Structure formats: structure tokens, C-alpha cells
Structure 1
Amino acid sequence: MPAPVLVLGATGILRPAVVRLVEDGRTVVGVARSAPELAELAAVLGPRLIPAAADYLDTQGLLRTLTAIVASFSAAVVYAPVADDETLAVLRLLTDGPVVDLLVSEYAQPAPGADPAAFCLSELPARQAAPWRSLLLGWTSEGRWHTPEEISAAAVEVLATGQDTLLGVVRPWSTRPAS
């Protein structure tokens, strides 16, 4: 049996990704801060979802929680927008295969003096070494943020293809929805 897939953000923006991966026959270790929400999701999805209540801002606590469950992961989908380098390094260390890192739109904010219409996905800073992949979360051309379903579908696609991806648009920056 292959190692499980790690999903960090399992009860929020990546909940639909957890459901899809489990429905596809994968075992998922779902990480979220809320133990009750994880238990509720596990009750629905069954034994292919292994709940792991932890806060990614507590690197050592996250490491203890994850290594108590499994030695390594086959892949990971990570929504940890303010994770520090130490946490990202731990996730990389524990994951044998690809890691999909969801990046918030601020990563595409034009630098002062830069062409406000220009954007190239390859210019994104890599938060970790390959096979770390980025999913940049833009907004829709209609000017709204993407839904968890849309984001999760894109994250699972990046996991399957291994290609950095922009979901939606990030230009013109002036059309970015209010947070």
C-alpha cells in the first residue's frame, strides 16, 4: 500500500481535495487545527482519512503529530500561506513525492516600478526545492475569489501533472477583489 497523501488545510479550503483524493482510493492524512471538524469529516469519509489535529505554525508540534502517524508521505497538498522556512523544510523532509504549495495572490503583487500588466508564473519564488510545485491563487475574470471546490480541483490537478499553475488571473492588479 502506498504511503498516504498529506493535506494541510483539510477542513477549510482543501476539504474538497480531501474528499476527492479519498474517493479516488487514496489514503489521506488530513491536518487542520480543529479536531472536532476533522473527526466530523473522518466520520463521513471513513478509514481512508486519518485526522491529524495540529497547527502548522507550531513546527515541532506538527512534526510530532505527523511522525506519530506515519514515517513519510507519498505526496502533499499544502495550504500554509504564512508558514516559516522551518515548517516548509519539515514538510519537504517528510514527503517523498510532489508537494503542491498553494500561494496566495500577494505573491503576484507587482513590485514598485514594475510593469503592472506583466506577470510570469516562472518568476514566483520557490518556497522549497523540486518536486515542490506552486499553485498561485488568483481571482476569477469576473472579479471574485475562487471557491474551495475550484481551488481543490486545481490543487489535485497540479498534483497529477506536476506543473506550476495560476488559478484565475492576477492582472490587472487593480481588479483584485477586496479581502
Structure 2
Amino acid sequence: MFLLQRLDNTRKKLKGQIANVLTLLNLTLGAFAILYTIQSELTLALLFIAIAAVFDRLDGAVARKFNATSDIGKQLDSLSDIISFGVAPALLIHEAVLVEFGFAGAFFAIVFIICGAIRLAKFNVSESTCYFVGVPITLAGCILTFTSLFVGFLPEFLFMFICLFLALSMISPLKIKKM
């Protein structure tokens, strides 16, 4: 009887860690995106960010399914998101096009990261409701990432405005219903 109870407790603890493992996969993919961007492998970086978004979606769903939400999970998710959907997309768009604008291009990329960090900090201290306040960093980061596909088709200066628009949308009072 004691052994069965211990096995059941161990199984419950392991289930609770599945979401954190998915979150760490999100972080790992974001880190790979950064490394591949530095190596000018922008297509691979884009792919890693896209896959990170899938894991970001899964980690929350798994945590809710197994009733394994926790404060540490929430913090870990935000730390992973700033890497995968803040730093990685900003670096990608900087290397794809904003680098042409020198300091101004770097400034817009950094503003995106700063606004993403503010948005995540606000989310972490807010009471959970049925809507997001401001565009979630995952969405903003994915949009910024996929705009890199339009480099060469859109005027280069437009990417600075896209970056700024997405940055400000993350810290806006806009309410978006959670899915």
C-alpha cells in the first residue's frame, strides 16, 4: 500500500513537471534562434521561433490539463518568452534589415525587447482574467519574426515602424480575449 501511494505521488509530481519541460523547450528554441541569427542563418532562426511558439502554446495547455499551474511555472514561462519572443525576434529583424539604420535600427529593436519585458512583468503581477491587456509577447514576437519574410519586398524604413507599433501594442491598454 505504501509503495503504491509513493508511486502515485511520484507520478503526480512528474505530470506537474511536463509543462515546465515544454517551457524549457520553448527557451531552448529561442536560444537556438539567437545563435543562428548571430551566424546569419535567418531562415533557421525563424523556424526555431515558430516552433518555440508551438511549445509556448502547449505548456499552458498541459499545465491546465494536469492542474499543475504554479508561480514558478508562470515565472519560468515569462523568462522563456522574453528570450523566444522578445530578444530572438528583435535580433532577427535587426540582422535582417534594421542593421542598415545603425543606431536607430538597434534602438527600435531594443525598444521592442523593453516593451516585451514590461508586458510580461505586468502580466505576472496581474490577476488572471479572461482577457490579456496588451498584445501578448508571443503574438507580437511571431508577427515581427514573420515580417522578416518581407524584407526586399517592403521599404526598409517600414520595419522600424512595424517594430515600434508591435512594441507599443504590447504595453497598450488594448484588451484581447484569451482563447
Normalised TM-score (structure 2): 0.24
Larger relative helix fraction: 2
- Which has the higher Rg, Structure 1 or Structure 2? 2
Normalised TM-score (structure 1): 0.24
